[in-house]
Structure 1
Amino acid sequence: MFPTFELFGRDISMYGVVSLIGIFVCAIYICRSAKKRGYDDNDFIVILLISAIGVLAGSHILYGITRIDLIVKLLSDFGKYVQSFGDFINCMATIFGGSVFYGGLLGGMAAGAIYCKKKKFNISEYSDIIAPGVPLFHFFGRIGCFFGGCCYGIESSFGYTVHGNELLSSVNDVQRFPIQLLEATLNLILFIVLARLLSKGVFKGKLFSIYLLCYSVIRFFDEFLRGDTYRGFLFGLSTSQIISIILFVCSLVYLIVKFKKSRQNQT
């Protein structure tokens, strides 16, 4: 683990640094892909910036939803926990201070789609170019998770042991499966596959749905190897597993409908 490093007397988050690198690499890849296909890369820069707002909002909102127990506790005895504006801010930071990838993904998708629709861009064509960039960014994000110690795996005879992590004491002195590195690897493979499909010009208008379909399977199964159980469970499944099932079904139905329409148009 390497959660922080000191620079000019200040502690810098390693997760933030790695994620920032991921953002730049992802943006460069998407803009280059757009220019190769005759699109204005400036349009994609704006789309990414708008989507980033949705990512930030969505990731924190979904995290807050997973902490519904804290929301109920706050509302049931509001006066006890909130006696000043500062107390209210601290409560909101506790409830919404974390982030959930799926919330960010859905928030970014919604913000990007709204902007594209308003600008009358072809969402299917634009999303094809953006699709490989999502797992590419996620690859860096999960590397950052590994350095930071978050999103950690279950106790395991195979893995790594952390000592003295002041930010996440729950990972200390327990050997854990490196689920962050496993998911990072799978995201990198998914990026390579999607980038290859984009370069070959196959499955046009379907690449983002293919991404959602594939990642939902990855996420559903790697959740069984996650050790951070505080993120919420329903019917024995984690919040992310439930979202994975919904995304898998929706993506599969969308792709089936799309393929049927393509065949009808060819006949």
Structure 2
Amino acid sequence: MLVHPQFDPIALSLGPVQVHWYGLTYMAAFGLFLLLAARRVRQPWFEQAGWTRRDVEDLLFFGVVGVVLGGRLGYALFYKPGYYVMHPLEIFMVWRGGMSFHGGLLGVLAAMALYARRRERRFLEVTDLIAPCIPVGLACGRIGNFINGELWGRAADPSLPWAMVFPQSGSDIPRHPSQLYQFGLEGVLLFVLLWLYARKPRPIGQVSGAFLIGYGFFRFVAEYFREPDSFLGLLALNMSMGQWLCVPMIAAGVLLWTASRRRAG
């Protein structure tokens, strides 16, 4: 049975300036997005549509704003609405933690809609461009979760070779390292599948639909191994909040992918 090494969350201290591992994972995510999206715009169908490296940089700026605002507001709305109604100023205290992927996704979609409107591009053209680049950023985030020893998994059979005790949980119960499961599923595997799927031109909207389906499915599965939030527990049908948020995501992905295929046919 393994024990989480309890990494120091501060990677580097330079006088009064402290660099946190979680911040470094965000920087890695942004850097990988630039690298991958720059390769995407060199594909012939994007080049013909006039996409450039400068567009990628602008997309990153819009995306960062969207993911931070959406992630924080989504956490407040989906997970602790009562608390933040009573303490609204704490919504802006992002250093205290609390981000929602589903809220971040909505924030990014809103930011991409604004970008598309300003640049007079089709919204789904923009989301198709960025969709295969997102999973690597998610993978970076899950590594940050693991380093911080947060979002640990549910209790596991002690005989499981990779079962791990997370002292941060306040117990010596062996658990699934669910952060690493999510790193592998929502990050690495989803990236590989989407990148391969998007290597040739697809009808507009299909790559975006595939992302919604893929992320929703992998996150739904991973939630069976992740400890539900203590202040929520399991909800109806013994499903977590994360799973319930994945249901409309998968449904939207199926509808988008199907509608795109019909339009192309």
Per-residue deviation, 1:228: 4.3
Identity of aligned residues (%): 24
Aligned to 1:135: 135
Report the CA distance between 1:230 and its aligned residue: 3.3
**What letter corresponds to residue 41 of structure 1 in structure 2?**
R
Query: How many angstroms does 1:131 deviate by?
Result: 0.9
- Taking only aligned residues, the RMSD between alpha carbons, in angstroms, comes to 2.5
- 1:60 deviates by 0.6
Q: TM-score w.r.t. structure 1 length? A: 0.82
CA distance in 2, matches of 1:90, 1:142: 24
Describe the shift of the 1:91–1:244 C-alpha distance in structure 2 as closer, same or farther (beyond 3 A). closer
The structure where helix makes up a greater share of residues is: 1
Q: What's the counterpart of residue 3 of structure 2?
A: none
Separation in 1 of the partners of 2:231 and 2:140? 22
Q: Which has the larger radius of gyration?
A: 1
Residues 155-181 of structure 1 show CA distances to partners (whole Å, capped at 9, x for unaligned) of 222322234xxxxx3256432211111
The Cα shift of 1:96 comes to 8.0
Q: Deviations over 1:82-108 (max 9, x none)?
A: xxxxxx745863998511111111111
Structure-2 separation of matches of 1:92 and 1:32: 35
Give the aligned partner of residue 63 of structure 1. Answer: 75
Contact 1:149 1:171 (C-alpha < 8 Å) held by counterparts: no
Picking from 243, 246, 254, the partner of 1:244 is: 246
Q: Distance in 2 between matches of 1:95 and 1:22?
A: 18
Aligned counterpart for 2:259 among listed residues 248, 257, 260: 257
Structure 1 unmatched runs, 5+: 76-87, 164-168
The Cα of 1:247 is off from its aligned counterpart by 1.0
Counterpart of 2:26 (choices 19, 26, 44) is 19
TM-score, with normalisation over the residues of structure 2?
0.82
Cα distance change, pair 141–94 in 1 and its aligned pair in 2 (3 A):
closer
1:59-78 deviation line (CA, Å, top 9, x unaligned): 11111121123246x37xxx
- Residue 203 of structure 1: how far off its partner (Å): 5.0
Alignment-derived partner of residue 99 in structure 1? 99
